[in-house]
Every structure is written in C-alpha cells, then in structure tokens.
C-alpha cells in the first residue's frame, strides 16, 4: 500500500504474527490499491458507470461497505469518489480508461448524496463513479492485520503502516506505547508531541506529503468531496486516535476538511481525541487528546525558557509545568520487524 | 187548503231548508279548519324536532360543564396541596439568590492577579522522550 510496514511485538508468536501481518497487507494491496494495474479495485473502477455489476472478493466488498458507511456517518465529509478529482489534478493511478471529458468537467456533484456503490447481491457490486479507497484502505488493512494478531493470542504489539499505527497491550518497557506526532514542517526533527497509548489506533492526514504543482497551482491529495478541490482550510496536519484504525483514518481526513475554524467544534462534538497543526505551525488538541498527551514540544520549550529566566533572576515569578510522568526504555525485549511495501 | 195553512207549511219548509243549509255550511267550515290544522301541524314538525335537538345538546353541554367543573375542582385541590412545596421552593430560590449575590461580591473582591512565590523545580523534559513510532502523513 505504498508504505513501510513494521511490527513490534512481545511474545513467542511474534515471528508468526509478522507473517500474518505481511500476508494481510499483501492481500489488501491486491484488492484495494488504485495504483496496481492488476488490483481488483482497478478492475471494478473500469466498469464504473456502465451499470455492470462485477463479482468482487469478500475483502473488497467489505471495504466498499465500510467506505459507504463512513460517507454516511461523516455526512459526506469522507467520500471515496474523489478519484476523478485526483486524476484531474494530476495524481494518476492505474489506467481505468476514464472518459477524459467526464474527468475534466465535474461541476454537477449531485452524486455526493447517493451511495457510492450498489450491492446487487452478496459479492456483486456496481459503481456509478470510480472510487479510491486510499482514504480508508490502509486503516482496514490494519484492522484486519490486528485481528489476525489477536487470533494468535498476541497481547502486546504495535503495527506501524507508514504512520498509521495500531497498538495493543503494554510496550516492552511495561508502559504505554509512546507515539510521536510528526512536525509537518520538519519531518526529520523532533516530534510536536508524544502520545501514550495502551490500546487504540492513530492516524494522521497531512499535506506534508502527496502535494504537487498542477497548472501552476499547489495542490494536494486531501480533496473536499463537495467542491472537488484540495481542502484549503489553513491546516497542515490532523491526527486522530480511536479504537479502530479505519475510523482514525476517516476522521483525520474529515476533520482536515473542517479547516482551522471548524475543526475544534467538529472534533469536540464527535468526542474525538484529535491533534491538529495549523498553517502557523501551532499545535492544538481536544480535551480527550490532552489526556493522552505526555509531552508537548512547545510546552517543553516554554519550560526551558522559564527555567532559564528563573536561574538568571531569582526574583522571577512563574508557574513551572509539573514533571510529566514518563516511562523510558532501558532496553527493548520486543521483536521488531520491518518491511517495505511491494507497490504504490 | 187555505192561505193560512200554506203559510205554515212554507215556514216549516223554509226553516228546514235553512237548517240544512246551516248544517252543510258548518260541515264545510269544519272540514276546512281540519285541513288547515293538519297543514300547520305538518309545517311545525321540523321546528319541533329542532327544538328537541337543541334541548338534547343543551343537556349534553350541561353534563360536560358539570364534568369540567368537577375537573377544575380536583385541579384546584391538587394545586392547593402543592402550594406548600411551591412556597418552599420559592424560599429556597430566594436563599440561593442571596448566596449567589454573596459569592459574586466575594469574587469581585478577589485580586485579578496573585503573585506566586518563586518556585524552583526541575523543568519538563526538554527533548522528546523515546518513541516507539511516529504518526505522519500516511502516503497512499
């Protein structure tokens, strides 16, 4: 799925779990990718708009059903039918013989209120418009890989699929897993914050990757289904934690579309643990996110400034942040496996 | 027969004829009156039925008014029973209002800023703790 894959696991079946995870991602890739000419989704997309119902695998059927449910729950904030918009903006996947005129002119977006697919019978789908499952596919693959690990009775593990992460149980150091949030302005630098997570899934939608120039205009891959244009709400990145990786992925994209003005209300209304970075570089978060956050770079820098000021002037007044509870690793007993994906 | 005798006979016949004419006239008048009375009675039937219907509706209205009056009496009785509780609630609200005013006054007297004593403490961790993974833009 175009992302490096990594498993950190504690237990005797770690090697077998790694095999299960890589198998799951390989199978999800061949079913859900839009970049592989031999992918099942690409074959289905080629019949979009023809009225023909194609027989699909159980995996692709579940993915399409999940994408449709995400569309309904987010009230259209998430919509897999942005594929033609991506193609129009210059991000091309496998050739699906898209009608050039249909891809170029798409002002009538009345289809956003209709289901993304018709399920004529179990295993038979018909599309009116081609779909891109990139906004949920990796989350689903993580969901299914997690289930396979749990069937092996693996209680403590972390699966990292290129930044979308699932954790279960304790970290090797017997504390919560520590997950950093990448600074979208400095990918190689210090994380903006660190989250302690014992069980759950975390996903980030950001425009620090998959952005390009199209006809002299800077565009990116996070498309607003209502307008067909890249979202331009003043946000750089949105991170969401939930129990399920697919929903973390869906909500991170949906919240991104809310923009810097609407994201706080939307996230709190949905009760989401969400962190977001606006175009000034500032990190904000919901109360649910705050309770999971164990380190924030901006606060640490402020602490340092106050401490330096207090040291130079004993009459200074200030409130220092309390020492944050944190577990550091003295060594890792975890089995760590990494792999690159085969496609994308 | 002399003229005197014929006069008597003529008077008798005249009286008989007059009586018969009177009787016939009386019978005709009686028949005419009977016909007029039947027509009047027939004309008054709808009015009588309407009067009867109005009387029936009036009876029903009277019964409903009686029921409403009973209901009102029960509600009035219930309200009278609640009145002490309402009085207590109003008294409690008055007390709460007075307490709120006192709290407001106390808050107004608090200083806007409080100078804290100098505190020396170990600052928070300056660098990010070791992480097991980093979430980022996930690519495709």
Least confident of A10-19, A102-111, A238-247: A102-111
Using 50, 70 and 90 to split pLDDT, how confident is the model at A102?
A: low
Using 50, 70 and 90 to split pLDDT, how confident is the model at B123?
A: low
Least confident of A80-94, A257-271, B29-43: A80-94
Using 50, 70 and 90 to split pLDDT, how confident is the model at A342?
A: very low
Using 50, 70 and 90 to split pLDDT, how confident is the model at A333?
A: very low
Instruction: Tell me the average pLDDT of chain A.
Output: 85
Please compute the mean of the pLDDT values over residues A44-73 and round it to a whole number.
93
For residues B45 and A265, give the distance between their C-alpha atoms in angstroms, rounded to a whole number.
Answer: 77
Residues of B in contact with A204 (CB under 8 A): 135-138
Q: What percent of chain B has pLDDT over 70?
A: 91
* CA nearest neighbour of A45 among A106, A102, A4, A105: A102
Residues of A in contact with B134 (CB under 8 A): 163, 179-182, 191
Q: Give the Cβ contact number of residue A322 at 10 Å.
A: 10
Listing from the earlier edge strand, what are the strands of the sheet with A54-55? Answer: A54-55, A124-127, A117-121
Alpha helices in A74-136 (DSSP H): 83-88, 100-104
> A167, B118 in Cβ contact below 8 A?
no
Q: B residues 66-85 near A, CB within 8 Å?
A: none
Least confident of A57-66, A102-111, A253-262: A102-111
String of DSSP letters for A131-192: --GGGTHHHHHHHHHHHHHHHTT--EEEEEETTEEEEES--TTSSPEEEEEPBTTBTTS--S
Using 50, 70 and 90 to split pLDDT, how confident is the model at A330?
A: very low
Whether residue A253 is predicted with pLDDT greater than 70 in this model: the reply is yes
Asked if ipTM goes beyond 0.95, one says no
Go through the domains of chain A in sequence order and give each one's CATH number: 27-107+116-135 (1.10.3980)
> A6, A14 in Cβ contact below 8 A?
no
Using 50, 70 and 90 to split pLDDT, how confident is the model at A13?
A: confident
Residues β-bridged to residue A6 = A160, A338
CA distance to A284, B99, B110, per residue, from B103 (Å):
34, 6, 11
Mutation to test the B interface, candidates A138, A171, A180, most B Cβ within 10 Å: A180
Please compute the mean of the pLDDT values over residues A170-180 and round it to a whole number.
92
pLDDT of A309 reads 82
Whether residue B62 is predicted with pLDDT greater than 80 in this model: the reply is yes
Are the Cβ atoms of B140 and A158 closer than 8 angstroms? no
Please compute the mean of the pLDDT values over residues B59-63 and round it to a whole number.
95
Using 50, 70 and 90 to split pLDDT, how confident is the model at A98?
A: low
Q: Give the Cβ contact number of residue A156 at 10 Å.
A: 19
For residues A63 and A127, give the distance between their C-alpha atoms in angstroms, rounded to a whole number.
Answer: 14
- Note the pLDDT tens digit of each residue in A208-235: 888 888 888 888 888 888 888 898 889 9
> B27, B35 in Cβ contact below 8 A?
no
CA distance to A42, A81, A146, A336, per residue, from A47 (Å):
9, 14, 32, 42
Using 50, 70 and 90 to split pLDDT, how confident is the model at A3?
A: confident
Q: B residues 109-138 near A, CB within 8 Å?
A: 115-138
For residues A139 and A165, give the distance between their C-alpha atoms in angstroms, rounded to a whole number.
Answer: 9
For residues A219 and A138, give the distance between their C-alpha atoms in angstroms, rounded to a whole number.
Answer: 22
Residue B16, token pair as written in the block: 């008989």
Using 50, 70 and 90 to split pLDDT, how confident is the model at B21?
A: very high
- Note the pLDDT tens digit of each residue in A138-171: 999 999 999 999 999 998 999 999 899 999 999 9
Residue A320, token pair as written in the block: 């220092």
CA distance to A18, A34, A35, A218, A228, per residue, from A100 (Å):
43, 18, 18, 22, 16
Could you identify the residue written with the tokens 């996070």?
A222
Using 50, 70 and 90 to split pLDDT, how confident is the model at B109?
A: confident
Residue B116, token pair as written in the block: 């804290």
Rounded to a whole number of angstroms, the distance from the CA of B113 to the nearest CA of chain A is 12
pLDDT of B119 reads 54
Please compute the mean of the pLDDT values over residues A76-105 and round it to a whole number.
77
Residues of A in contact with B115 (CB under 8 A): 317
Please compute the mean of the pLDDT values over residues A183-204 and round it to a whole number.
90
* CA nearest neighbour of A75 among A254, A265, A286: A254
CA distance to A6, A18, A175, A177, A195, per residue, from A336 (Å):
7, 9, 17, 14, 20
């Amino acid at each position: 799925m175009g992302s490096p894959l990594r498993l950190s696991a504690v237990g005797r079946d770690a090697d077998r779990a790694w095999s299960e995870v890589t198998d799951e991602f390989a199978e999800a890739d061949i079913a859900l990718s839009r970049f592989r000419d031999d992918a099942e989704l690409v074959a289905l997309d080629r019949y979009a708009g023809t009225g023909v119902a194609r027989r699909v695998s159980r995996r692709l059927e579940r993915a399409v059903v999940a994408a449709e449910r995400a569309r309904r729950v987010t009230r259209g904030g998430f919509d897999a039918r942005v594929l033609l918009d991506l193609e129009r903006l210059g991000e091309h996947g496998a050739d699906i013989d898209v009608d050039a005129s249909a891809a170029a002119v798409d002002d009538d977006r009345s289809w956003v209120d209709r289901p993304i697919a018709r399920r004529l019978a179990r295993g038979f789908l018909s599309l009116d418009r081609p779909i891109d499952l990139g906004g949920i596919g990796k989350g689903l693959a993580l969901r299914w890989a997690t289930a396979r690990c749990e069937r092996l009775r693996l209680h403590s593990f972390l699966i990292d699929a290129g930044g979308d992460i699932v954790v279960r149980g304790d970290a090797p150091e017997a504390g919560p897993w520590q997950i950093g949030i990448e600074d979208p302005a400095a990918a190689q630098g210090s994380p903006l914050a660190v989250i302690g997570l014992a069980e759950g899934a975390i996903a980030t939608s950001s425009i620090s990757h998959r952005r390009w120039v199209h006809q002299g205009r800077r565009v990116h891959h996070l498309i607003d289904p209502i307008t067909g244009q890249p979202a331009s709400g003043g946000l750089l990145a949105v991170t969401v934690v939930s129990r399920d990786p697919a929903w973390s992925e869906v909500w991170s994209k949906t919240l991104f579309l809310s923009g810097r003005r609407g994201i706080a209300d939307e996230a709190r209304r949905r009760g989401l643990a969400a962190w977001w970075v606006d175009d000034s570089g500032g990190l904000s978060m919901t109360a649910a996110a705050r309770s999971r956050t164990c380190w924030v770079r901006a606060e640490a820098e402020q602490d340092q400034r106050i401490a330096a000021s207090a040291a130079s002037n004993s009459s200074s007044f200030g409130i220092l942040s309390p020492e944050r509870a944190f577990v550091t690793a003295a060594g890792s007993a975890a089995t760590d496996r990494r792999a690159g994906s085969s496609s994308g | 027969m002399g003229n005197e005798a014929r006069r008597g006979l003529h008077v008798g016949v005249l009286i008989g004829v007059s009586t018969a004419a009177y009787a016939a006239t009386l019978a005709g008048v009686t028949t005419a009156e009977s016909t007029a009375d039947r027509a009047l009675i027939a004309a008054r039937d709808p009015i009588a039925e309407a009067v009867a219907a109005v009387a029936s509706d009036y009876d029903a209205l009277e019964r409903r008014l009686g029921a409403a009056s009973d209901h009102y009496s029960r509600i009035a009785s219930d309200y009278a029973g609640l009145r002490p509780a309402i009085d207590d609630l109003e008294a409690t609200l008055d007390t709460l209002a007075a307490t709120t005013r006192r709290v407001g006054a106390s808050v107004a007297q608090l200083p806007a800023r409080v100078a804290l004593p100098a505190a020396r403490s170990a600052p928070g961790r300056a660098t990010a703790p070791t992480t097991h993974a980093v979430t980022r833009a996930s690519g495709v």
